[in-house]
Amino acid sequence: MVNQGNGATSTRIDKWLWAARFFKTRSLATHAVDLGRVLQNEQRVKPAHDVKPGDLLDIQHGEQRWEVRVLRILEVRGPAAVAQTMYEETPASLEKRQKAADDRKYFREPTAHIQGRPTKRDRRQLDATRD
């Protein structure tokens, strides 16, 4: 790691994910890396592992999944416009995300809106969709 900001040649992967705005907090990024939801060059890494320009990252956050190539290293979280210049999404990833968005648009899972245990009303609606 060189200096903070523009001149860095590498930084921790959790810090980079936070600065690139894939995760809202650095602790969420650290937790995702610990759980194996972030792969660097198709391998699991620890949160302190360095990321450098040219690395390929596979990032899963909720239902979203990105495959990006690292272009720039910044250790500070800036505006979204600056964060988008830190990486380049692969064409295959763009296509998969677009297809998933179309699927969500045209097909809604009947149980997606239910939080926790269904109420009597939720159960009746579920039963009605099965008939």
Q: Please give the pLDDT value at position 3.
A: 42
pLDDT in tens, the chain (131 residues): 434 445 678 999 999 999 999 999 999 999 999 999 999 999 999 999 999 999 999 999 988 899 999 999 998 999 999 999 999 999 999 999 999 888 888 887 776 776 788 789 888 988 888 87
- Cβ atoms of residues 72 and 53 within 8 Å: yes
What predicted TM-score, i.e. pTM, was given to this entire model? Answer: 0.76
CB within 8 Å of 120: residues ≥ 6 apart: none
d(CA 29, CA 26): 5
Residue 127 lies in a domain: no
Closest CA to 43 of 23, 58, 29, 54: 58
Query: Residue 80 belongs to a domain with what CATH number?
Result: 3.10.290.10
- Give the full edge-to-edge strand order of the sheet including 43-44: 43-44, 38-40, 56-61, 64-70, 87-89
The residue segments making up the domain with residue 70 are: 1-94
Residue 109 lies in a domain: no
Q: How many domains does the chain have?
A: 1
